[in-house]
Chain A
Amino acid sequence: MNLSRKWLKEFVDIEASDREYAEIMTVAGQKVETTARLDAEIKNVKVGKVLSIVRHENSDHMWVCQIDVGEAVPIQIVTGAQNVRQGDLVPAALHDSYLAGGVHITRGMLRGEESNGMLCSIQELGLTHNDFPDACQDGIWILNDEGAHVGQDINEVIGNDDAVVEFEITNNRPDCYSLIGLARETAAAFNVPLKLHEPVVKGGGPGELMELLDVETPDPDLCLRYTARMVRNVKIGPSPKWMRQRLRAAGIRPINNIVDITNYVMVEYGQPMHAFDYRYVGGGKIIVRRAGADKTLTTLDGNVRNLTPDMLVIADETRPVGLAGVMGGENSEIAPDTVDVVFESANFDGTSIRKTALALGMRTEASAKFEKNIDPMLTLPAVNRACELVELLGAGEVLDGVIDILNYIPQPVVLPLEPERINALLGTQIPEADMIDYLRREQITVSDGKIIVPTWRPDLRRMADVAEEVARFYGYNEIPTTLMRGATTRGGYSPSQKLENKAGTAARAMGYSEIITYSFVSPSGMDMIRAPKDDPRRKQIKLLNPLGEDSSVMRTTGLPSMLDILARNYAYHNKAARLYELAKIYLPVEGEPLPREPKLLMLGSYGPGEDFYTLKGAVEGILAQLNTLPVSFEAVTDNPSFHPGRCAALLVDGKRIGLLGQVHPLAAANYGMDCEVYCAELNFTELLTVLAPEKTFKALPRFPATSRDLAVVCDETVTVGSLEACITAAAGELLREIKLFDVYRGAGILPGKKSVAFSLTFRAEDRTLTDADIEPAMGEVLQALERNLNAVRR
């Protein structure tokens, strides 16, 4: 809502700089977004009097003028305009002046004649024909009839000596979408009187309103109130300068006196109005009804609008003539030859208006106001104010009488004033008398401890609402600052959050950086990771109104998100990346409205030195930090997202928790990556179920360990994992550690075979081991290896 400070003066008398005004209003609850000086653009343009005007010696269309701009000596300005005469008052842009659009005017020579500035047209001053209808359209603006004087700043003539304050009005205060509403807030904030004006209509126009006009409201649920008056024998023309200036400050283009009056009243009262040309109100009848069978309406902007049956229209006997609360129809618009006018001042259901405006994509000033559910009591003073202005402007003859249909029963709202509860809620000790005074400032009466809530304050319904009014004028910043008393609570992280923090720390220690990706993804991601057609992860939750296909489903795997980010970094020529994300996936649950939302830990990497084992090492490292039960890995050869020979399932305590490996080159290629890409996807929520018991101290060994190296030759197909398992099982209880240190193929080893070397560590808790202890164990190991895996000592 834009407020002209000059116009505001009609209602409240305050002295405050723009900055002070904004500060005081904001702190009292009406937030000022910006304050724009209207005279900020045009600078150093003054009213000048043409003392003389002679033809330019070297030009057949230019003139050399001597202009009195109120300085000691006249200045010479050359103009190409043909409508300037000696004695005229004109806008003179002096040397170093600024015009509309930031045009900078400086002194110069025009075909040998010095020109110390420029004479201006209205366009050059940022104005249009609508603002100054009498101004010359293709020449210099002649100010003879504008009440200007020599040397005056042109901004004063235009009415730019004003500031427009833009307020952020909250939803609960529809009354503040009006000048009077903001004037009331200003008066309350500054604690000064509010000067309100009761419209007075003389009336007496020819004819009987009731005979000329009939209004029906067959859909009372959508039309709470309909008020109308008639004006006859109107003289359509421009409205006076003061009205045009005020409308301009409010950001409204002046059109003609009748339309300007409706807009003026809308700004003043916040009540949208409409003026119909009576000629086109067929049968003298206005019917406010749902569109029903009517399919289209041409609005006054010339667009054909498609109606749906529930939209509220204003119709005559035969057809819709306006879209209720949004825009009038082309067929009933005020025209230069309009003779009789119907003023409509109505109250429509906010939700209905909002839906209509939204459906048709035409949010207007009027619909924006109606959708806030404005006070139905406004219609009558507003229509009277419009008629009063008609009479003031001499624009027509107002008929006696008002048509006023009320489709609701006004319910007075009375609340008890409860000072103790208010103070208890605010943590203050404000005396009751002060509370009553704060409310009085807002024109809210309190008598006998009862608050009479004005009709324009739908937001005051409970003690808490009243507490806010009290707090606003007591000052939010005056309320003391205390710390909570009462029972203390034990704050902190849940076990799963603690584990997340640990996992993040461990991942970063392994060199992985954290990323945050969108929860919604493209459904095509499933194709890009080569998921089979019947992959259950393709059952994704769909957004019914996504921003686009790319963000239209909730992810069921973290792989596409991770690959997107890796690919983006790759495309940016970042040499390497190690990334992790701890975030949710969204899995639909049959028969449930809400999905399951388990958390994933995703790891992803590419770049020099990255291979399957660096990824596996990182996963093992993280799991070790989390202290899970024993971890094992199993080859996975059939997951189409991964390299068939470089992919493993992660098992913790035998339970499958995740998958890791090199992304299948074809999947990587789908993301534009032609290098080796590694990803791991761990079900973090599942991990919570396979944690080892908390660690306790074990006594340090008192006796030395003994180690033995062992190299065996076996078939290629025998895995290190199976060799280790075999050794562990056979070695007995003295074996403490088994460590792979070499895998060798080549000279000395037959093709199809490999040599695998381990270092075995033995230790006892009660003695130093001797060969006699270890040799039998090694013997068992060798036998078992040969028997079970055909692996023989090299």
Chain B
Amino acid sequence: MKDQLEQIRSRALAALEAAKESAELENLRVSLLGKKGELTAVLKMMGKLSAEERPVMGQLANSVRAAIEERLETRKAELAAAAMEQKLAAEALDVTVPGTAPTLGHKHPMNIALDEAKEIFIGMGFQILEGPEVELAEYNFTKLNTEEGHPARDWSDTFYIQEDSSVLLRTQTSPMQIRAMEAIKNPPIRILAPGRVYRKDEVDATHSPMFHQIEGLVIDKGITMADLKGTLETLVKSLYGEDSVVRFRPHHFPFTEPSCEVDVQCFKCKGAGCPTCKGEGWIELLGAGMVHPKVLEGCGIDPNVYSGFAFGIGLERMAMRRFQISDLRLIFENDVRFLRQF
């Protein structure tokens, strides 16, 4: 019986070793340890043994069983691991195949640039305001200290709706200054008014009869030109980086005094002069100034008590610079191959 047990042990272990699949293991388990299994059959014969032999054989039989069971378990684990490995290997993918993404739409680059500017000014306490595009000449010109007879009012430059030149398509977002002052009445006023504006320019790489401006206006007691500089420098540095160099230089607008234009040092040549900045070393960004006392008076705000500043930014130029778009016509062409790039 001893030999029998030893034989079962060595045969079983060899068979387990040779098994290639978990199903084989199961068959082996049944044939060895099952109710009608070999080992079970041997054990059934234990009763025929003598009282001395029985515990010895019993012990041996148990150790054979334990060895088979242990081996069975480890083989199971081994085979499962191998099967998993094989499965995973079979499932391997070419990870360089492009992903399948849902098709998302794209924001127009102009509005990406606009939103960036809006966020910066909202952070400084500006309220976003909108107003009419078909506008009264009174708001677009007269109240902005641009009298009758000023060249900007010519029919060759401005689109008119009424024969008497009283209604027009606004040529600038600046009438929003007047509308804001009339609506809010009591300073402090801090508004940002982006929108469409219209001028009688034929379409080319840098002109469009419709384009966009962002108007800003601040009115309060004690607002200074130094505040104007601080605010616009914040804008430029937020848009173009902390290390960008800003230059303010005198200019003229009918509705601000003193007036200025704001340049940023050319990013490409760092001021040395290159084709991007037309050799000037600087790129013009926007116009600004202290609100003209006549404009304040016209809106019922006492210039001896309040002061303020205003600025106007050309959005197209800002977006074109931001994304290095070479031709303004692309902005309004809306080719999906263009839109998808942003």
Contacts and interface: CB of A to CB of B under 8 A. Distances in A.
Contacts of A722: none
A695 B87 CA distance: 47
A597 B292 CA distance: 30
Given A424-B222, A472-B250, A514-B108, 8 more contacts: A22-B280, A173-B252, A476-B260, A480-B226, A480-B229, A519-B196, A584-B133, A594-B135
Interface in B125-173: 125-130, 132-136, 149, 151, 154-156, 159-163, 166-167, 169
Contact of B202 (A482, A490, A547, A593): A547
Given A427-B225, A477-B248, A597-B133, A516 B231 contact: no
A504 B249 contact: no
Interface string A426-444: 1110000000000000000
Contacts of B160: 543-545
Nearest to A505: B107
B190 interface: yes
A620 interface: no
A518 B332 contact: yes
A144 interface: no
A56 to B, nearest CB: 46
Most chain B CB within a 10 A radius of its CB, from A476, A483, A565 = A476
Interface stretch (A192-200, A569-577, A755-763): A569-577
Given A172-B252, A425-B307, A485 B128 contact: no
B36 interface: no
A484 B223 contact: yes
Nearest to B250: A29
A542 B162 CA distance: 9
Contacts of A34: 278-279
26 contacts: A29-B249, A171-B254, A172-B252, A425-B225, A425-B307, A427-B225, A477-B247, A482-B227, A482-B229, A483-B227, A484-B218, A486-B221, A487-B220, A494-B130, A508-B104, A509-B105, A515-B334, A542-B161, A544-B155, A544-B159, A545-B159, A547-B209, A551-B209, A572-B337, A593-B162, A594-B136
Nearest to A509: B104
B162 A544 contact: yes
B289 to A, nearest CB: 9
A578 B104 CA distance: 10
A542 B161 CA distance: 6
A28 interface: yes
Interface stretch (B74-82, B92-100, B116-124): B116-124
A77 B129 CA distance: 74
B188 interface: yes
B132 A597 contact: yes
Interface stretch (A3-11, A463-471, A743-751, A783-791): A463-471
Contacts of A350: 149
B47 interface: no
Interface residues of B, number: 90
Interface in A399-447: 424-428
B258 to A, nearest CB: 3
Contact of A577 (B132, B222, B252, B336): B336
Contacts of B290: 425, 464, 467
Interface string A536-576: 00000111111100010010000000000100110010100
A493 B247 CA distance: 30
Nearest to B156: A358
A380 interface: no
B329 to A, nearest CB: 12
Contacts, number: 252
Contacts of B340: 513
B222 A517 contact: no
B334 A31 contact: no
Pick the 9 closest A-B CB pairs, nearest first.
Answer: A427-B226, A427-B224, A29-B250, A468-B258, A170-B252, A508-B105, A464-B257, A515-B334, A351-B149
A428 B227 CA distance: 11
B103 to A, nearest CB: 4
B159 A468 contact: no
B241 interface: no
Contacts of A494: 127-130
Interface string B315-342: 0000000000000000111111101100
A378 interface: no
A426 B154 CA distance: 34
Contact of B134 (A354, A517, A586): A586
A488 interface: yes
A26 B334 contact: no
B128 to A, nearest CB: 5
Contacts of A542: 161
B210 A483 contact: no
Interface of B: prevailing SS: mixed
Nearest to A506: B105
Contacts of A554: 134
Nearest to B247: A477
Interface string B219-252: 0111111110111011000000000000111111
A354 B151 contact: yes
Given A488-B125, A491-B127, A541-B134, A465 B257 contact: yes
A513 B106 contact: yes
Interface of A: 19, 22, 26-29, 31, 34, 170-173, 350-351, 354, 358, 371, 424-428, 459, 462-465, 467-468, 471-472, 476-477, 479-494, 497, 504, 507-520, 541-547, 551, 554, 565, 568-569, 572, 574, 577-580, 584, 586, 593-595, 597
A510 B105 CA distance: 7
Nearest to A478: B248
A214 to B, nearest CB: 32
Contact of A593 (B125, B136, B254, B336): B136
B31 to A, nearest CB: 47
Given A513-B336, A543-B169, A574-B336, A476 B224 contact: no
Contacts of B159: 520, 543-546
Nearest to B159: A543
Contact of B337 (A479, A520, A574): A574
Given A491-B127, A544-B160, A586 B249 contact: no
B275 interface: no
A510 to B, nearest CB: 7
Given A425-B307, A481-B230, A371 B151 contact: yes
Most chain A CB within a 10 A radius of its CB, from B122, B166, B189, B252 = B252
Contacts of B161: 541-544
B213 interface: no
B185 interface: no
Contacts of A351: 149
B187 to A, nearest CB: 8
A144 B249 CA distance: 49
B99 to A, nearest CB: 16
Contacts of B102: 511
B332 A517 contact: yes
Contacts of B248: 476-477, 479
A471 B258 contact: yes
B111 interface: yes
A483 B230 contact: yes
Contact of B220 (A471, A479, A484, A569): A484
Given A358-B156, A487-B188, A508-B106, A574 B250 contact: no
B173 to A, nearest CB: 14
B180 to A, nearest CB: 12
Contacts of A482: 224, 226-227, 229-230
A574 B163 CA distance: 43
A595 B162 CA distance: 13
A18 to B, nearest CB: 11
Contacts of B209: 518, 520, 547, 551
B110 interface: yes
Contacts of A545: 155, 159-160, 200
Contacts of B251: 29, 31, 170
Nearest to A372: B151
A425 B250 CA distance: 15
